[in-house]
């Protein structure tokens, strides 16, 4: 019988992984919305939507990347 080993990770790394998961789901939702807007010919709504949310998406992506860096440094030091 094999014993399962539990990998110990910090809560910070778990939060970063959860944040990345929901961020990628949000990007998938924006991609689906963009395709639907293009199919129905309302590309002006798509342009408006992405011009408003693109700076926020970039900021959130940078924040999640920094969260991963901090979590990895914290894991390697402890």
C-alpha–C-alpha distance, residues 61 and 78, integer Å: 26
Averaged pLDDT for residues 45-66: 91
C-alpha–C-alpha distance, residues 7 and 4, integer Å: 9
42: Cβ contacts below 8 Å, ≥ 6 apart: none
Per-residue pLDDT tens over the stretch 15-45: 999 999 999 999 999 999 999 999 998 888 8
Domain boundaries, the chain: 11-77
Residue 14 tokens, joined:
């778990």
Q: Which residue has the tokens 């939507």?
A: 49
Share of the chain above pLDDT 90, in %: 53
pLDDT at 17: 92
pLDDT band at 58; cut points 50, 70, 90: very high
């Amino acid at each position: 019988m094999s014993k399962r080993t539990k990998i110990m990770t910090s809560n910070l790394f778990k939060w970063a992984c959860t944040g990345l998961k929901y961020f990628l789901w949000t990007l998938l939702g924006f991609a689906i919305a963009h395709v639907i807007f293009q199919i129905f010919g309302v590309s002006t709504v798509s342009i408006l939507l992405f011009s408003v949310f693109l700076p926020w998406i970039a900021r959130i992506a940078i924040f999640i990347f920094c969260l991963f860096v901090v979590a990895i440094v914290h894991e390697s030091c402890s």
